[in-house]
Amino acid sequence: MKRRQILAAAGVGLAATALAGCNKEADCSKEVAAGSAAKPQEGGGGETFHWKMVTSWPKNFPGVGVGAENFAKLVNEMSKGRLTVKVYAAGELVPALEVFDAVSRGTAEMGHGAPYYWKGKVPAAQFFCALPFGPNAQEMNAWLHKGGGLQLWEEVYKPFGVLPMACGATGVQTAGWFNKEINSVDDFKGLKMRTPGLGGEVLTKMGGTVVNMPAGEIFTALQTGAIDATEWIGPYNDQALGLHKAAKYYYTPGWQEPNVTFELDVNIKAWEMLPADLQAIVRAAARDINGDMLDDYNARNMEAMEQLKKEGVEVRRLPDDVLAKLKGISAEVVDATAAADPAATKVWAQQKAYLERLYKYAEENEKDIYNIRG
């Protein structure tokens, strides 16, 4: 909370600087991109902007949905109402998996979702989201913000008129909920599972069938047998969806998604209409939510897992030979996906080199302390 108070104070200071430069001759009534109106702030000087944010999440859904709402509140607070953001849940304005298109078209100025949802349009987007057996949240954030990843992300999205920012992370996920036991690699053959991104490509290589669907449809599909298994995020969100009431086995670890980075998408034309101080507020709020959401998941996943076990949920670890096979196929899938798209080829070459350095440090230091501590 202290951090947010500091950010809010900084936002007020930035706003005051901008207001000082808006005189009587300044044009403070022009229209912003994507159809949102701008008008003079009461008392004179400074435009106000009213933006829409579409999301891939159910209304006020724990973690991701609440994170989007918190972002909007923080921007409003820091800007003192000069930039307001109205949040729309999945399906209220556009379907959950069409957030990127809506922002690209200008239907909404902002969106919040997971980059791998639009892999059909932007194959390279998956590399900014989650890699099987790949980086955890801290490593992904290091690459994005200190290793050149964000610049590559902006380059990839620019042709679509979208500016991306990291705005939330899950940390290490679970492998998911299954209505059949996984004792060998053969148990994946014929398995119908809801799992997106590159993890889904791996499942296909294992002989399974991928079914992609938004959060609101998962429980019914699992309960009715339309799918045999699903992974969503982790105990916190899984408990909220009631998945423990629709499946028997809960497997770990989350090989397919050691982390998912969520994105804030901004329509570039709308972005360019914002004065510099409001742009700075948006970036600061996104960074705050990026860290805050990870804190939330780390705390709530622990609590939810404890509760699920008390309710009799059977938590199992995938066998070592299964994990070894998944790891080998994952490496093949990531390389093949990168090779199939020029933008992805460029991103993966740079990302892979940086991650190898991060992994080396983790091997020499962090891994050992985890093992000893455990």
Residue 257 marked in a binding site: yes
- Take residue 290 and report the two structure tokens written for it: 């990026």
Under 8 Å between Cβ of 118 and 61: no
- Take residue 45 and report the two structure tokens written for it: 């000087």
Q: Which strand (E) or helix (H) includes residue 165?
A: strand 162-169
Residue 31 marked in a binding site: no
- Residue 196: C-alpha distances to residues 35, 118, 201 (Å): 32, 10, 8
Under 8 Å between Cβ of 161 and 268: yes
Question: What is the number of other CB atoms lying within 10 angstroms of the CB of residue 228?
Answer: 20
Three-state SS for 49? Answer: strand
Residue 77 marked in a binding site: no
Cβ neighbours of residue 17 under 8 Å, at least 6 residues apart? 277
Residue 173 marked in a binding site: yes
Write the DSSP assignment of 199-231 as a string of letters.
HHHHHHHTT-EE----HHHHHHHHHHTS-SEE-
Task: State which amino acid sits at residue 267.
Answer: N
Residue 155 marked in a binding site: no
Binding residues for substrate: 173, 194, 231, 257
Binding residues: 173, 194, 231-232, 257
Binding residues for Na(+): 232
